[in-house]
Amino acid sequence: MFTAVLALAAAGCTPQPQDGDRSGADLPKTERNGPAGAVPVGLEEFYSQEIVWEECPDYASTDADREAYSQPGLECAQVEVPLDYAKPQDATIKLGVLRRPAEGGQRIGSLLINPGGPGASGMSAAAYLADTVSRTELGERFDLVGFDPRGVGASEPQVRCLTDEEWDAERLDSDADVSPSGVAQTEREEQAYARKCAQRSGEELLANIGTREVARDLDVLRSVLGDEKLNYLGYSYGTRIGAEYAEAFPGNVRAMVLDGAIDPEQSTIDSLLEQAAGFQGAFDEFAKWCADQQNCALGNDPSAAVTVYQELTRPLVDRPLAVGDRKLSYSDAIDGTVQALYTSGLWEGLNEALLQLRQGDGRLLLQLADAYYGREPSGSYPNSMDAFAAVNCVDNQRVHDPQKFLEIDRRYREAAPFMDDGRGASPARDACSFWPVPVTGDFDPPEAGQLDPVLVISTTGDPATPYQAGVQLAQVLHGRLLTYEGNQHTVYLQGVQCVDQAATDYLVNLELPPEGTRCR
């Protein structure tokens, strides 16, 4: 589908545990920590609700998460919020929350995290970061709290559009036919996708799934966790949630780290094309690295790498490659490559996958594509891709003119020629063009207002959220920019000491790094 391209992933009351006594407690346990800080009129019951912490494995929505959630010391719960904040007394939904309690006796509060997407699980991110922050200053001073945004993962109800079998079939369809009949067929599929989302998720959930609502959920979580002010770590799309929150609740922010920023001043189309150029830049860097290896699948001339890659992948448009009882499609080859371009740590695996493809073996590339979609060995999919589409369709400006789609597709191919299938641009409209509920996103840049300075981290070789987007976000929010010179998407808490120390100092002590700080 073109959608993924155009859219840019209680009862009983006990007192709050005292500092130094927040981990190792018997579960389940009930806390009432709120209301804390400012409470909007009419939402008192949500801001002051009890929260029941339980063992986490039953909250996992994937096999991999189930293992991660089994770590000792993790606690999980659900928090109730209005489905529609304009009608808080009507229907409610539940948000999944995972907490790794602070280890030390000088606890500052909770650090809420969102890993991006949209559609990615914050609970999963917190579980995987639990060991990383253990025995660090960050882990001693903060409860690490991940939440699944509305409609995602352990939150209820979930956004669901396609079944597992339908996702497998969707991945085999490269939509490369740009003839009138081919375009019509693609648009019928996009219409069907939108219709299934409405039927299986409900139009009311789809209408209230956007970033505007997630920011309001974040403020409820702040109060329920007992924090008068928010401490927040947002990666990628999570920076959009942070910016939305900063505009809606500027006086409620204590500290905010935004890593891998989305440019708040760019249009949806410009952002899409910048991302295409970013992934082409990452491909070019991969090609240079590969050329220096003993056995490079793309050859030893980086300037010819795109042509060699196209020769390897374009035959898959007409002849998907058998991989056991499955097939590697052209779309999967592109998605698997994109998955590996997110970080230079996967370049060696990508080269091996392309070497295998040259020999008629698509196993590794299909594994990379499965990782992109979150497909498990059992064949099940998380709902992250469905949530990705649902959020983007209500957050972003929509395009309805086929000629505009033709222009966008042409410019996209020019910006990222390694992803060009050679069949020409298509005027086919995407699923958002047929979406059954209106746009709710705010297209104006956020206003910082009384917001205290925040920290924005931007990576020079970030393929998904190009470096300049972080520069722009820091300027709009009147924050401090921290530059990392590297080739990956996001960096904080990923082993780069310079970045980790600077961001942790800010979160703990509210001390921003010096203007112009660069890490390598």
Pick the closest to residue 5 from 428, 481, 497 (CA basis): 428
Kindly report the backbone phi and psi dihedral angles of residue 340, in degrees, each rounded to the nearest multiple of 5, phi listed first. -75, -20
Strands 455-459 and 480-484: parallel
**Identity of residue 153:** G
The DSSP code for 60 is: -
Catalytic residues: 236, 462, 489
Task: Extract the tokens encoding 213.
Answer: 């609502």
251 vs 229: CA distance, rounded Å:
8
334 vs 280: CA distance, rounded Å:
12
SS3 labels along 67-85: HHCCCCCCEEEEEEEECCC
298 vs 291: CA distance, rounded Å:
7
Strands 518-519 and 75-82: unpaired
Other CB atoms closer than 10 Å to residue 193's CB: what's the count?
A: 23
* 3-class DSSP assignment, residue 327: strand
Residues sharing a CB contact under 8 Å with residue 72, sequence separation 6 or more, in sequence order: none
Residue 149's Cβ-count burial label (10 Å; 0-12, 13-18, 19+) is buried
Strands 92-100 and 75-82: antiparallel
Residue 185's Cβ-count burial label (10 Å; 0-12, 13-18, 19+) is middle
The DSSP code for 201 is: H
Whether 448 contacts 455, CB under 8 Å: no
230 vs 248: CA distance, rounded Å:
13
Kindly report the backbone phi and psi dihedral angles of residue 3, in degrees, each rounded to the nearest multiple of 5, phi listed first. -50, -45
DSSP H or E segment with residue 110:
strand 109-114
Q: Tell me the Cα Rg of the chain.
A: 23
The DSSP code for 14 is: -
Helices (H), 249-344: 268-291, 305-313, 330-341
Report the interhelical angle of 268-291 vs 347-358 (nearest 10°): 80
Question: In Å, what is the CA distance from 435 to each residue of 8, 215, 394, 447?
Answer: 16, 22, 8, 29
